[in-house]
Amino acid sequence: MPTLADLTARILQFRDERDWRQFHRPKDLVLALGIETSELAEHFLWKDEAACEGLAGDPVTASAVSEELADVMIYALLLADRLGIDPEAAIIGKLEKNALKYPIAKSRGSARKYTEFER
């Protein structure tokens, strides 16, 4: 199974073979990321929870959702590369911060934001 670093290298190779780095300015990558996220969200718009959960059961829709999700992840990795952010370190760091903000005893089974926890 390829690592995140392996996938990033493949994405960068794909980009560089086409000489697209010149177009991948941070602002444009952020906009592309937002657009792709919106395209992903469109598959869930106006559907109830059961229909959303059932999307994976329809091969055509599941494929479309998979492709949009891949686009989101690709643009996120391109943005991280362009800004010099190590995505693995960023994810680990964020998980560590979230573990402090959302201790198991206060957050297990709850959708409350950390600011709503009793102090």
In this prediction, residue 119 carries a pLDDT of 62
Can you list the pairs that 56-65 forms with residues at least 24 positions away whose Cβ atoms lie under 8 Å? 65/40
Shared domain for 10 and 68, answered yes or no, is yes
CATH number at residue 81: 1.10.287.1080
pTM (predicted TM-score): 0.91
| Nearest one of 20, 69, 24, 23 to 44, comparing CA atoms | 69
In this prediction, residue 20 carries a pLDDT of 98
Shared domain for 79 and 106, answered yes or no, is no
Per-residue confidence in pLDDT tens, the chain, 119 aa: 999 999 999 999 999 999 999 999 999 999 999 999 999 999 999 999 999 999 889 999 999 999 999 999 999 999 999 999 999 999 999 999 999 999 999 999 999 998 888 76
In this prediction, residue 56 carries a pLDDT of 87
Task: Show the domain range for 116.
Answer: 86-119
| Total domains, the chain | 2
Both structure tokens of 34: 């937002």
Spatial distance between the Cα atoms of 89 and 118, rounded to a whole number of angstroms: 30
